[in-house]
């Protein structure tokens, strides 16, 4: 059986020798996790190239583009570009990388399992995701009518893959934990993946149902979403009011929760990194778990927030507005916990931590503009505008990407046995950090200017001129930001083959189980002995212990105690 041969061959190989050589049918969770990350890397660069094209077109509509010269004259092409940029980034990058990519690789390692609960199902889910990427990319190359059908089919296939993933993640977390790995001892990354899997298992079903109805409309001439056919290939915004309410309901039911599907694993990753690099336990860890649960729960309930402008029962905007605002509560708890952990800590400012702090900054500034959008009267005025684009990209797109990059810098030594280059990483961070603020902050201003009701004619004209200058500024900023990503690509590829080799298991002196195994981990993860867990995941700065951390797998007898020296004690215990 091909399946057996390839997975068998895979175990003989040392992991980390490249993607293509591993074979396409290996069911090993690490191979699958890495494959997801490769997919995401490809998609993120493709998606960035598309955003670049869009911005160039917006700033200089007459510009002649090498192979897309028809872009200016064809609204279809521009709409397709927007759709494709969005779907690649949201599905293949933000949904796939933090959850399926890092999750598949590290969830079993962190809970002490040697494999996901259903490896064959996992492989199937991966290939479904890969097929949907292929389908989504192909849509750009074929005529609009079949392209839309193909897009819907690809999204439906992606839903199936995500549902299987969600199932696998939840069952693995529930049933495959190592001895001693009780729920309170779970790392917060695992909590986030787990809650996210449950949320994903619910909402992707809804998108799948919507896709089935939509496909039936297109292929079997049914009328679930009347009028959708005629407007589907129009540019967005032109006749947005005519989009059927039912489609909006189903779509936003999924899409609003999808935001949290992308963000939840990032919250977990960030909390984990903040604690590890501050060398302090997570402040109010239980409360953080509750907050993550609350994000999942509220995120599932706020779909109506997107429909303030589309005519609902007059009371429902109020309800949804309250719910959307109440999402602020868990977000504030998370923020307070991050700051509480950072408070008075000896922060190790390496690149992973820089990206973590960058995430917190973006989340904070993006979240502040979210407060405006959660107010239904304001949101109704600003909907489908630059303000929303700026808010959404800052808080979801870029912040989540920062979390992914932070996690990559953190786990790269474990995955490949080499370190990413720190100085290059730091330059990349600062350029990106400055770049994204220069891109998305002016978008907020553009959105506010456009909706200012107190403007007379002359000041409006001057503002319009300022607006067009701002568009050019944004485009230049995005050009610079995208080119800064070249640094990352160089760093990534160079470090993969030539980076500083890591000989120890635990270069970051972290506590969770994946750091107890060699880097990269062997094929069966934990070798001959099954891991046993003795304590919580964030035992940093424990009193009377020689080191400033105690890993989860070390038995109480093995913990090296300090010899009663007060000076030394004072150094490590806060």
Partner 1 sequence: MPGTTAFPDEEIIIEDIGGGGGGPPTPPGGGDDGDGGGDDRNRRRKWTPSPKRYSTAITIGLVSILMFFMALASAFIVLRYSSDLWVAVHLPRILWANTCVLLASSFTLESARQRLFLADAAGFRKFWLVTTALGLLFVTGQLIAWRQLVAQGVYIASNQASSFFYIFTGAHAVHLLGGVGALLFVSFGKFQKTKISLPAAAEITSYYWHFMDGLWIFLLALLYLGK
Given the complex with partner 1, which of 12 and 458 has the nearer CB atom?
Answer: 12
Q: What is the CA radius of gyration of the chain?
A: 24
For residue 545, what is the DSSP state? Answer: B
Closest to 129 (Cα-Cα) out of 26, 32, 216, 197: 32
Given the complex with partner 1, which of 120 and 483 has the nearer CB atom?
Answer: 120
Given the complex with partner 1, which of 49 and 183 has the nearer CB atom?
Answer: 183
Query: Residue 189 contacts by C-beta under 8 Å, 6 or more apart in sequence?
Result: 102, 106, 107, 110, 265, 268, 269, 271, 272
Asked if 499 interacts with partner 1 (CB under 8 A), we say no
Q: How far is the CB of 40 from partner 1 (least distance, A)?
A: 23
Q: How far is the CB of 566 from partner 1 (least distance, A)?
A: 45
Asked if 201 interacts with partner 1 (CB under 8 A), we say yes
d(CA 538, CA 545): 14
Given the complex with partner 1, which of 271 and 516 has the nearer CB atom?
Answer: 516
d(CA 521, CA 515): 9
Asked if 167 interacts with partner 1 (CB under 8 A), we say yes
Stretch that binds partner 1, among 78-86, 213-221, 344-352, 469-477 (CB under 8 A): 213-221
- Candidate residues 138, 216, 389, 485; the one interacting with partner 1 per rule CB under 8 A: 216
Q: How far is the CB of 10 from partner 1 (least distance, A)?
A: 8
- Candidate residues 21, 313, 528, 565; the one interacting with partner 1 per rule CB under 8 A: 528
- Candidate residues 60, 140, 224, 473; the one interacting with partner 1 per rule CB under 8 A: 224
Q: Where are the alpha helices (DSSP H) in 60-187?
A: 75-87, 102-111, 119-138, 144-175
Given the complex with partner 1, which of 28 and 401 has the nearer CB atom?
Answer: 28
- Candidate residues 48, 71, 113, 324; the one interacting with partner 1 per rule CB under 8 A: 113
Q: Which of residues 240-259 bind partner 1 (CB under 8 A)?
A: 245-246, 249-250, 253
Surface-to-core class of residue 462, CB atoms within 10 Å of its CB (0-12 exposed, 13-18 middle, 19+ buried): exposed
Is residue 379 within 8 Å of 462, Cβ to Cβ?
Answer: no
Q: How far is the CB of 452 from partner 1 (least distance, A)?
A: 36
Given the complex with partner 1, which of 169 and 437 has the nearer CB atom?
Answer: 169
Q: Which of residues 13-42 bind partner 1 (CB under 8 A)?
A: 27-28
Stretch that binds partner 1, among 47-55, 116-124, 457-465, 494-502 (CB under 8 A): 116-124
- Candidate residues 145, 524, 568, 573; the one interacting with partner 1 per rule CB under 8 A: 524
Distances (CA, A) of 405 to 110, 235, 266, 358, 390: 19, 33, 10, 10, 21
d(CA 74, CA 53): 14
Asked if 166 interacts with partner 1 (CB under 8 A), we say yes
Surface-to-core class of residue 219, CB atoms within 10 Å of its CB (0-12 exposed, 13-18 middle, 19+ buried): exposed
Surface-to-core class of residue 148, CB atoms within 10 Å of its CB (0-12 exposed, 13-18 middle, 19+ buried): buried
By three-state DSSP, how is residue 240 classified?
Answer: helix
Asked if 12 interacts with partner 1 (CB under 8 A), we say yes
By three-state DSSP, how is residue 343 classified?
Answer: coil
Size of the site for partner 1 (CB under 8 A): 57
Peptide bond into 9 cis (omega under 30): no
Q: How far is the CB of 168 from partner 1 (least distance, A)?
A: 8
Helix axis angle for 144-175 and 119-138, nearest 10°, is 160
Stretch that binds partner 1, among 95-103, 163-171, 382-390, 460-468 (CB under 8 A): 163-171
Given the complex with partner 1, which of 78 and 169 has the nearer CB atom?
Answer: 169
Is residue 206 within 8 Å of 247, Cβ to Cβ?
Answer: no
- Candidate residues 530, 544, 568, 573; the one interacting with partner 1 per rule CB under 8 A: 530
Asked if 488 interacts with partner 1 (CB under 8 A), we say no
Asked if 176 interacts with partner 1 (CB under 8 A), we say yes
Asked if 302 interacts with partner 1 (CB under 8 A), we say no
Query: Residue 135 contacts by C-beta under 8 Å, 6 or more apart in sequence?
Result: 150, 151, 153, 154, 157
**Residues that bind partner 1 in the complex, under the rule CB under 8 A:** 1, 3-5, 7-8, 11-12, 27-28, 113-115, 117-121, 123, 163-164, 166-168, 170-172, 174-176, 198, 201-206, 208-210, 212-213, 216, 220-224, 245-246, 249-250, 253, 523-524, 528, 530
């Amino acid at each position: 059986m091909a399946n057996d041969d390839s997975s068998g061959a895979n175990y003989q190989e040392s992991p980390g020798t490249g993607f293509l050589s591993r074979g396409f049918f290996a069911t090993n969770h690490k191979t699958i996790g890495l494959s997801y990350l490769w997919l995401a890397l490809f998609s993120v660069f493709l998606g960035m190239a598309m955003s670049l094209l869009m911005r160039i077109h917006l700033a200089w509509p007459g510009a002649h583009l090498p192979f897309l010269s028809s872009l200016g004259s064809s609204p279809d092409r521009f709409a397709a570009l927007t759709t494709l940029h969005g779907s690649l980034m949201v599905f293949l990058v933000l949904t796939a990388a933090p959850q399926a990519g890092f999750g598949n690789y590290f969830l079993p390692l962190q809970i002490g399992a040697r494999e996901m609960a259903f490896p064959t199902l996992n492989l199937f889910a991966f290939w479904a995701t890969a097929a949907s990427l292929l389908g989504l990319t192909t849509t750009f190359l074929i005529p609009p009518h079949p392209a839309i059908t193909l897009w819907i089919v690809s999204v439906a296939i992606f839903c199936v893959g995500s549902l299987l993933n969600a199932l696998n993640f939840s069952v693995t977390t529930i049933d495959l934990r190592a001895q001693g790995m009780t729920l309170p001892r779970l790392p917060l990354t695992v909590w986030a993946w787990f809650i996210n899997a449950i949320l994903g298992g619910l909402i992707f079903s809804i998108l799948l149902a919507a896709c089935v109805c939509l496909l039936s409309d297109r292929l079997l001439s049914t009328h679930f979403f009347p009028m959708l056919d005629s407007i589907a290939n129009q540019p967005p915004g032109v006749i947005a009011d005519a989009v059927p309410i039912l489609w909006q309901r189903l779509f936003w039911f999924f899409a609003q929760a999808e935001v949290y599907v992308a963000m939840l694993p990032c919250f977990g990753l960030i909390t984990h990194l903040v604690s590890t690099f501050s060398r302090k336990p997570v402040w109010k860890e239980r409360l953080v778990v509750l907050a993550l649960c609350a994000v999942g729960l509220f995120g599932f309930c706020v779909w109506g927030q997107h429909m303030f402008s589309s005519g609902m029962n007059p009371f429902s905007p109020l309800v949804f507005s309250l719910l959307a605002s109440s999402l602020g509560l868990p977000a504030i708890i998370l923020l307070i916990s991050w700051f509480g952990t950072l408070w008075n800590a000896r922060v190790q400012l390496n690149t992973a931590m820089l990206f973590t702090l960058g995430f917190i900054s973006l989340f904070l500034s993006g979240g502040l503009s979210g407060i405006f959008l959660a107010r239904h009267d304001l949101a109704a005025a600003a909907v489908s505008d630059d303000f929303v684009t700026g808010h959404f990209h800052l808080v979801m797109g870029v912040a989540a990407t920062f979390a992914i990059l932070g996690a990559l810098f953190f786990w790269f030594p474990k995955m490949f046995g080499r370190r990413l280059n720190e100085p290059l990483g730091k330059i990349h961070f600062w350029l990106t950090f400055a770049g994204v603020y220069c891109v998305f902050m002016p978008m907020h201003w553009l959105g506010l200017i456009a909706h200012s009701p107190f403007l007379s004619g002359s000041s409006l004209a001057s503002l319009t001129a300022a607006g067009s200058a701002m568009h050019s500024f944004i485009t230049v900023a995005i050009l610079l930001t995208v080119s800064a990503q070249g640094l990352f690509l160089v760093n990534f590829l160079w470090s993969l083959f030539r980076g500083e080799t890591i000989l120890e298991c635990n270069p970051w002196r972290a506590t969770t189980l994946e750091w107890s195994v060699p880097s990269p981990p062997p094929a069966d993860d934990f070798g001959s002995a099954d891991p046993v867990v003795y304590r919580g995941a964030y035992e940093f700065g424990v009193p009377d212990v020689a080191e400033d951390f105690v890993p989860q797998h070390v038995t109480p007898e093995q913990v090296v105690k300090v010899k009663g020296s007060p000076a030394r004690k004072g150094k490590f215990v806060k």
